[in-house]
Every structure is written in C-alpha cells, then in structure tokens.
A and B are shown apart, each in its own frame.
Chain A
Amino acid sequence: GPIILQSYRVIADFEKNSKSELAAKNGDVVEVVEKSENGWWFCQLRNKRGWMPAAYLEPLDGPDESEEQDPNYEGDLHITTKDYTGELDDELNLKEGENVEVIHKLLDGWWVVRKGSITGYFPAMYLQKSGETAP
C-alpha cells in the first residue's frame, strides 16, 4: 500500500548551505521521508527533496507529540570523531578521540554530553558509541 509520510510545519526560514539541503520558509508544510539521528531529516516540499534540520520542524498534529528519549543521567559512553569548537556558550569544545558521556539524545542532533564536571551540547554527528567502529 501507499507509504503515509508524517507532515511537519517549518517554524523558521531555512536557507540551504549545501546542495543536498532543502530550503523552506516559516509556515511551509513538509513531509518527512527519513529521520537521521544526527538531526538532519530528509523532507519533501512540493516537487523538491532534501535534508532539513529537525530543529526547524514541528509535528503538524501539535507540539505535544514527542518522540524525544528520556535523559540518561548515568551517561552513555561515546567517543568524539572530530574536533569541534562550540559557537554558542552552552556548547562543548572537544578534540577528536575524547571520551564523553551522553546524557540526553535530542532529536535535533545536539546531544547533551558530560566531560568530567562540564556538561554542554555537542553535535551527534561527531559522536560514536564507545566500542563500535565507524560505519
């Protein structure tokens, strides 16, 4: 049978920065084809397709629908796969190969991680579960 895609409302203008991204305006309604854990969702808007940041989308059925996981305060061990320098105050600066504990895996691809006594946001894209090899 037909595949029913979930509809999401775009909550802020998004301009694309690479060819694979999909630009959309505040108020547009897109259909989500695939959700990547790193916060990029593959969407279609009219006759166009491309990746959009999950943070710019909210379910059309209402903001109550939550797919968000609960935080895990014990921490889930991960290793950083790339150097990253935070751009906002609440982000962590980490080098490649550092061990961190993931506290909260947020759908927007910015996970709450703990390094020693410091906690902040870090891109899920640059994290890999400890003990697993890169895909």
Chain B
Amino acid sequence: TIKRPPENPPPRPPAEVRRKQV
C-alpha cells in the first residue's frame, strides 16, 4: 500500500539546480 504524501509542498529545486536552469 502507498502511504499518503507529506502534507507540505515539496522543497523548491536545490539552489545549484536553479542556477543551471537560468
């Protein structure tokens, strides 16, 4: 059985990944 996902939004992409996307 699959558990319910966490109740909070997932974290934003890690800072180093965000820089790569720009």
B interface with A by C-beta (< 8 Å):
2-14, 16-17
Contact = CB atoms under 8 A, between A and B. Distances in A.
A121 B10 CA distance: 13
Interface of A: 11-12, 14, 17-18, 20-21, 33-34, 36, 38-40, 42, 50-51, 53-56, 87-88, 108-110, 121, 123-126
For the residues of B in contact with A, the DSSP-based class is loop
30 contacts: A12-B16, A12-B17, A17-B6, A17-B8, A20-B3, A20-B4, A20-B5, A21-B6, A36-B5, A38-B5, A39-B9, A40-B6, A42-B2, A50-B3, A51-B5, A51-B6, A53-B10, A54-B10, A55-B11, A55-B13, A55-B17, A56-B14, A87-B12, A88-B12, A108-B12, A108-B13, A109-B10, A110-B12, A121-B12, A123-B9
